[in-house]
Structure formats: structure tokens, C-alpha cells
Copies of this chain bind each other. A is one copy, B any other.
Amino acid sequence: MLRSLTPFALAAIVAAMPAAADEIGVLDPAIRAQATALMEAGLQDDVGLEFTESLTTEIGPRMAGSDAEWRARQWAMTKLKDLNFQQVYIEDFNIPYWERVTETASVTGNNPQDLAITALGGSKSTAKGGVEAEIVRFASLAELKSAPADSLKGKIAFIDERMVRSQDGSGYGVAVAKRGGCAKAAADLGAVACLIRSVGTDSHRMPHTGGMSREGAFGALPAGALAAPDADQLARLLERGPVKVKLNIQVKTSVSAASGNVIAEVEGSSRKDEIVLIGCHLDSWDLGTGAIDDAAGCGIVVAAANLIQQLPQKPKRTIRVVLYGSEEVGLFGGRAYAAAHADELDKHVLAAESDFGAGRIWRLASGVGEGALEYVAAMQGVVAPLGIIPADNNSKGGPDIMVLGASGVPVLEPGQDGTDYFDLHHTPDDTFDKIDPAAFRQNVAAYAALTYMAAQTDWDFRKAATPESEDQ
């Protein structure tokens, strides 16, 4: 339905809907009208898609700490200045660096054939020329962990667990445990390497990379992910008898590499020191061009802020757009930002991050004070014509703003439809053609309206429940 929702159709829907927010009485009708106008503009926006196209085309893959990530920061500086944002600058930080060099796997013996794999972020190198060892299959990380001591001595562990597809991406948290922990658990039992079925929901010959847990697993063993059809193949071969695999993973690491966050602002007016932060991450994995993860998120928040800065009057509060660096390899940008801005975190009135692809937003969750729920309800009422339904108040925010949330900064989480997100996530297939322009523009519309409402009101999203509301 949304694909054909024109601005005119939206206006008609808005006119026909009960004015929930106004009835609640917390939202100034002028702000409501302006937010609705921003939504209409968002549904026609081209700036966000062009930003995303340009980043994925001109920079392409931009691995944390790499030259390409450096080029992406320079590119972003130019783009954001060209869009007339104020206060465009880079905050530098350093990260430990990891990159893949080669990665191959093949079944040896009577059924020789290559398997499609990719090294996991933090994988160790095998010996030069590779390691050949017998495969031991486990249904889950828990099953691997419960194997007898030394039972994997000289062998390769293979965790063959499938991921559940769901709209909210909740299958990811479950599935990702094996990616984070396989290397450590397998090393503890004497294994020489570990392989996992890719954390993903597709059945293409494209393995999904992703980071290993930095607590213990990182660097513990050579570790790789098999594409789903290759995990199927290995499982079928194992049904026939013992299987040996020759695995060759070579990686390059260094203690320190340059990374950074790129920041741009729409300067506020009467409440200039109060900050509404909207973020995304600029780095990507190296296999694809990082279109849905997360150039799209950057295009969405930049376009939303850009629509607001084009209004005749600046909003009361400052809108800060943060394009985080080095998210994929350990949320370094998020932590660097929180550290650099420790003394003004109490001035951050609200934060949101777009980092779950480019699917349409279907619900609006929050992590705010109980007393501020009426503001979230008012905001939800305004974006309801975009097909966005209310959700709970248990959000911790996106990956890079989680550290802000933990420090008491209220968060909003416009939840994107992630049904297909893990078909592409962290694979070579994460490219610009996968973005649906209509769904993308619905995101711009929602972010523009939500950000504007947060910046133009004097709402305190930290507000505790009042005694009366607690009684109810």
C-alpha cells in the first residue's frame, strides 16, 4: 500500500483521521501541521536516495579503519557541507584493525569440491597453505559447549544452526550467538578452527560475515561462515560418513588504525544547547557496498535533517546528525562519541538511529521516562498515516546509541520491517539495487516528522511518571 502512497493521498488520510495528538492536547497544532508537511516532503525526497547512491557507488565497501572508510569520511564532509549543514566536522579515534586477505575451503577425499565461505571478523589466520581436518557437526553453540573436553582435538567444529526469519529481526539475537562464540568454545575443546552456517535467512551462495565476540572469541581460532547451500552440502556429506575440509584463511591485523565519526548539525534557536541526535553508521563490511547496512540509514537521517534545515525557521533545539565510524567491528564509534561528549550527555534530549536496512517503518518503540509516554503517543499519532503503529517503551536504541541510552539519554526506535533484511546483511549482495525507493522515502518522512517534533517542542523525554499516572 505504502508504495503508492503519494503526498496527496497522505494529506487525505491525515484529514480523515481523528486528531489523536491534539485531543491529548500535548502537541501544538502548528508543530503538528509542520510535522505533517515534512512527512509529505519526505515522501517526495530525493536527497536521501542520492546520498545513499553516491556513497555506495563512489566509495563502495568501507571497512572500519581502512583507507576506504577514510575516503568515506572525506566524501561525507563534502556532501554535508554542500547540503549547508552547520558544524560539519570529524571526531577522530583509533581502533584495532582486522581485514581478510584470502579465504577458501574445500572438501577433500572422495567428494572433492569447494565450499563458499567467508572469514568472520576477528578470525585468526590458519597456517600458510591452510589446515586440513575432520569436521564435527553441532546443532547449536550450546551443543558444542557441552561436548567432552578435548573431544575436538585437531578437528574443525561446525555449528549448523538455522536462523528464524521475522519482521522484527528477533531471530538475529539468537543466531548471532554462534558467530560470536564459536571460536572460543571450539578452542576450549582443542579444535583447530570453527565454521558456522551463516547468520542469515537466504539460501544463496553468499556467506554472511560479521564480528566475533571481542571477549575471548576474537582471534581465538580461524573462523568462517558457510553460505546456506554450502552448510546444506556439508551436512549432506556428513550423513554419508566422515568429512575432511581444508580451510585456508589469511588475515591482516594491526594494533591501531584511524577511524572517526562525522558530525553535522542543524543549529537550534531558543534551546540551542539541547540536542536531538539522529544517527547511522558510515562504515560497512567489505563484501558488499554496505547499502542497506548502513548507507541507507545515513541517507535517511541526513535527508530528514536536511528537510528540517530547509524550513524558514530553525527548530528550537539543535539537531545533530552523527555518521558513526567502526560500528561493524565493535561499536567503536558509539563509544567514542559517548566519551567525547560525556559532559553534555544530559543535554541530549532524545536519540534515534537508523541501522536496520531500508524497509518501511512499521512501529514506533521508545525508551523514555514513563511521564514522557504521552509525548511519544502524540508523535505516534502524527506518523500513523505512514502506517506506523505504537510499540512498547522497552527500546535500548540502535547499536551506536545504546551507550547513550545506558547513560540515561531517552531513545526512540522507529522499527523497520526486517523480514528480508537478513537475506542480504553482511553479504556481497548488500548493494544499492536492493533498496526500495518508496519504503526508503517513508523512512525519511517518519524521521523528518519525529525529529522535528522532538526539536521544536520543549518536551522532557526523561520525565518520570507523575503520582497520578502511577496510581492508574
Residues of A bordering B, CB below 8 Å: 53, 57-61, 68, 110-114, 116, 203-206, 228-229, 232-233, 236-237, 240, 288-289, 427-429, 431-434
- Cross-chain contact A240 with B288 (CB below 8 angstroms): no
Contacts A204-B206, A205-B288; is A233 near B431 (CB within 8 Å)? yes
Contact call B431/A229, Cβ cutoff below 8 A = yes
Instruction: Jot down 15 A-B pairs with beta carbons below 8 A, ordered by A.
Output: A57-B237, A58-B110, A59-B111, A60-B112, A60-B113, A68-B112, A68-B113, A203-B434, A204-B204, A205-B427, A228-B433, A229-B431, A232-B431, A233-B431, A233-B432
Q: How many copies does the complex hold?
A: 2
Q: Contacts A206-B204, A228-B433 hold; do A428 and B61 have CB atoms under 8 A apart? A: no
With contacts A205-B206, A428-B205, A429-B204 taken as known, whether A233 is within 8 angstroms of B111 at the C-beta atoms is no
> Which residues of chain B come closer than 8 Å to A111, judged between CB atoms?
57-60
Check if B205 sits within 8 Å of A236, measured CB to CB.
no
| Chain B residue with Cβ nearest A56 | B233
- Give A315 to B206 CA distance when docked, in angstroms: 47
Q: Besides the contacts A57-B233, A229-B431, what 4 more A-B pairs have beta carbons closer than 8 Å?
A: A57-B240, A60-B113, A61-B113, A232-B431
Q: How far is the CB of A463 from the nearest CB of chain B, in Å?
A: 47
Closest chain-B Cβ to A207's Cβ sits at a distance in Å of: 11
Query: When the two chains form their complex, are residues B58 and A229 in contact, meaning their CB atoms are under 8 A apart?
Result: no
What residues of chain B lie closer than 8 Å to A57, measured between beta carbons?
111, 233, 236-237, 240
Whether A203 and B60, one on each chain, are in contact in the complex, defined by CB atoms closer than 8 angstroms, is no
Contact A205 B429 (CB under 8 A): yes
Residues of B within 8 A of A288 (CB): 205
Task: Select one of B53, B61, B206 contacting A236, CB under 8 A.
Answer: B53
What is the minimal beta-carbon distance from A276 to any residue of chain B, in angstroms? Answer: 33
Most buried by B among A236, A237, A240, A427: A236
Most chain B beta-carbon contacts within 10 A, residue among A53, A206, A228: A206
Bound together, the chains give a CA A53 to CA B205 distance in angstroms of 17
| Minimal Cβ-Cβ distance residue in B for A107 | B60
Provide the bound-state CA to CA distance between A254 and B57, in Å.
40
